[in-house]
Amino acid sequence: MIRLDHRAPGFAEAFAAQVENRRESDSGVTGAVTAIIADVRKRGDEALADLTEKFDRHPLASEADWRIEAEACAAAYEALTPALREALDTAAARIRAYHEAQLPENRDYTDAQGVRLGAVWRGVDAAGLYVPGGRAAYPSSLLMNAIPAKVAGVGRLVVTTPTPGGEVNPLVLAAAHIAGVDEIWRVGGAQAVAALAYGTKRIRPVDVITGPGNAYVAEAKRQLYGVVGIDMVAGPSEILVIADGKNDPQWIAVDLLSQAEHDPAAQSILITDDADFASAVVEAVEVQLATLSTQTAARESWETHGLVITVADLLADAPALANALAAEHVEIATDDPQAIFDQIRHAGSAFLGRHTPEAIGDYVAGPNHVLPTGRRARFASGLSVLDFMKRTSFLQLDESALHKIGPAAVALADAEGLPAHGRSVSIRLGN
């Protein structure tokens, strides 16, 4: 864990090194993923079967080995304890309500020259959702990906998920039932992404692929962007907590660890204006670590990538640092969090106030928890219904409207040396 003082000599250089540390996979992953994609494209289901048995120890011998049917998802939902079923239903309802409010409006109007213009939004025909298996199998992630797709009007919703040793996570199946997933295939890794992009005899291709995964999954999405749409190329998780000394150090410590426990490559950062409070939080992290079943990953993350920055004034100094970091999650635990948030231009999602831990956003708040990492919040946003939709613009001119704006089009076409363009307009003008 590194501690920096904003006022100390050499801070700018040390901070810049932290900003530039991407913590992402090495180039060795690229070649392996390229080979897997080529294999799936060439051999289809045969490649999927070989790779699934190799990596997941799950033979795809019968149809039951390939797919998980809707009846199994419904049974998993019914088998939940009432409290857990209610929790999933609550999360789904809040996620659905938030994303329904994101739906864009179609436009259709006629301007002063009599030209009818507009645009219509439509959901894609099919979307593929990658759901990690094993330790990283999270039902909340399935809800966050599947519900916006359904709200957007996607016609066919396909999940691929690895089932190591044949093991299926019942919570994931229950979430699929709630979200209305149409197909679930028991394949994972880069090979699943390739199958969704190109299709095989069993798995029909999709138009958009979303969902988290390991470095191989992320690299496969990156390589296949253009064949299909993707949500984003995600790296290790990160959290930035901006907190004053009025907070309980234990609260802030566990907030930092809430992302550290995801992955040894995750990063947790604290910015505070109170050096004593910073020390108290560091001590509290040790206390909290000792109680976590995820201690190994969380400790490696904290000790390798943890960062504590002390500044003179949070309102004056923290926003600029936060904008440079462009973190996935930004938590602002101060008396007036809005004043700081108003100055933050780059963040995946923000959590305002002492009683708004980032973890509430992971589950039941409503906004999507699929967010840009690795400073991509400078130019990217969290997953939304728009990731599953496309916009088609339209025009309609009558003879009068064409005579009003057509001559300008002819002039521009001639200037660009494209005579057929100009003639397609001028011939209608009688020229």
330 secondary structure, DSSP code: E
* CA diameter of the chain: 83
Helix, strand, coil percent content, the chain, rounded in steps of 5 = 50, 15, 35
Catalytic residue among 219, 328, 331, 358: 328
> In terms of Cα–Cα distance, which of 39, 147, 203 is closest to 388?
147
311 secondary structure, DSSP code: -
**Tokens encoding 401:** 């409207």
Distance of CA 167 to CAs 47, 57, 76, 133, 178, Å?
Answer: 21, 10, 14, 9, 21
Residues in the chain: 431
**Strand (E) or helix (H) holding 307:** strand 307-310
Q: Is 328 known to be catalytic? A: yes
> In terms of Cα–Cα distance, which of 246, 234, 299, 304 is closest to 276?
246
Question: What beta strand segments (E) does 164-296 contain?
Answer: 183-185, 208-210, 229-230, 238-243, 267-272
Report residue 344 CA to chain centroid gap. 20
Name the amino acid, one letter, at 33.
V
Q: Is 63 known to be catalytic? A: no
Catalytic residue among 262, 329, 346, 369: 329
Catalytic center residues: 328-329
